[in-house]
Structure 1
Amino acid sequence: MKKGKRIYLAGDSTVQTYETKDIPQAGWGQYIAKYFGQEVEFVNHAIGGRSSKTFVTEGRLDAVLNMLQGLDYLLIQMGHNDAAADKPERWTDAFTTYKEYLKKYINGARNRGAVPVLITPVATLHFKNGTFVNDFPDYCQAMTQVAKEERVELIDLMNSSLRFYSSLGYEKAAQLFMGSINGTDWTHFTESGANQIARLVALGVKELESGISSYVKAERSVIDY
């Protein structure tokens, strides 16, 4: 039986649900449900290595759209792999093709009677001159433009994650990432890191005051870290 709300996730490796063999690597999509009431069901279609473009060209967006029903939600976090200029099959230009592909998600969801929500790319651990750095400024700006042009709700996960890292300081923030284990990966999250990013996404939903905001159980003052 369908629950009160069903929320679909479209995204990359920072969002996807990992298998037991991949522990401790995790994506925030694995933890997002814990910050919502039980009447909300999450369906995570995020998968590693996909950009807004390849998620479409591989037929993954169509597969999600075919499942959407009226009043469902589609949360969309794309951008990391769109910036991969050395991989032309993934790459999109921030202010042209990236925006065009995002609009495919938006229009597809709306045509099914569902509600799209854009989420800017989550921050990596890039620390320079005492500051955590946004590695995808053009894509964040382009997504913000799309949100305004299409009148779509936007969760600015880039800025909220940068603020969160800053509140922790570099040493603690580093523990959120797989690099704290393997020494190299400062993009993907440990289970603890994915959990914290999920909390930030939930808080972002709560701040939207949208049709699903009332289901959020996350509190800004509570950090399970």
Structure 2
Amino acid sequence: MADRNPTTLYIAGDSTVQTYGADRAPQAGWGQFIAEYFTDDLRFVNRAIGGRSSRTFIEEGRLEAILNEIKENDYLLVQMGHNDSTVSKPERYTEPYGAYKQYLKMYIEGARLRKSNPILFTPVGRLHYEDGAFINDFPDYCHAMKQVAGELEVPIVDLMARSLEQYTQLGYERATRLFMISSNGTDCTHITEEGAKCIANLVSQGIRELNLPISRYVK
């Protein structure tokens, strides 16, 4: 019999995590498929939304909405960084070793105040390929997030490293199928349904390796 009060994993993130309707296909986000990589013992609530940074997600009350629902022993999964890096949009930009770290700490502290468990995820890699190698477009944000994880002893999955390694294994031509450039010819940031499933699998494997109480539910 299913648990009537299952552990819930809330997800805060951007367009690479968001759940999309059929009208946006083949665009998808990894949060759309993450439940497929876990048993039914867990419940997922994906609150990721495109165009948000660690800052604007909070300023719009989206973190507060999660914290109003999250319960003891639940989890808050946080992937932020893509939009934080947009200097040309000052309303959402955060300096990686300043405001970005401070906002990340608000997610962590908010979750912990409610006796729930934060997990950080470095930004997923884009399809940026130069001189035979895939490039990390957000190195400072990845490093700053790792600093926060160390300072506050928060579990972290280096999704950037995992995704770039996956693209390398696939090779550039095959990796393009994971991105919307394969559909519209231009977009090397947003991912297809195939890409979202690939990244969701990387997320689940990362959680398995953290050896958390929820790790045993990874398929």
Cα shift at 1:119: 0.2
1:141 is matched with 143
SS in structure 1 at match of 2:143: helix
Q: What's the TM-score once normalised by structure 2's chain length?
A: 0.98
1:100 is matched with 102
AA of the residue aligned to 2:213:
G
Q: What's the TM-score once normalised by structure 1's chain length?
A: 0.95
Task: Pick one of 7, 10, 17 that aligns with 1:8.
Answer: 10
AA of the residue aligned to 1:52:
S
Deviations 1:110-140 (A, max 9, x none): 0011000000000000000000000000000
Unaligned 5+ segments in structure 2 are none
2:156 is matched with 154
Equivalent residues of 1:3, 1:40 under 8 A apart: no
Unaligned 5+ segments in structure 1 are 218-225
Cα shift at 1:57: 0.4
AA of the residue aligned to 2:218:
V
Cα shift at 1:3: 4.2
1:186 is matched with 188
User: % of aligned pairs identical?
Assistant: 58
C-alpha distance in 2, partners of 1:184/1:77?
Answer: 24
2:57 is matched with 55
> 1:7-156 to 2 correspondence within 5 Å?
7-156=9-158
Runs of at least 4 residues of structure 1 off by over 2 A?
1-4
1:210 is matched with 212
Deviations 1:152-211 (A, max 9, x none): 000000000000000000000001000011011010111001000000000000000011
Cα shift at 1:39: 1.0
C-alpha distance in 2, partners of 1:40/1:22?
Answer: 27
Task: Pick one of 144, 166, 178 that aligns with 2:168.
Answer: 166
Equivalent residues of 1:118, 1:154 under 8 A apart: yes
C-alpha distance in 1, partners of 2:218/2:7?
Answer: 12
C-alpha distance in 2, partners of 1:67/1:16?
Answer: 19
**CA RMSD of superposed structures (Å):** 0.7
Cα shift at 1:4: 3.0
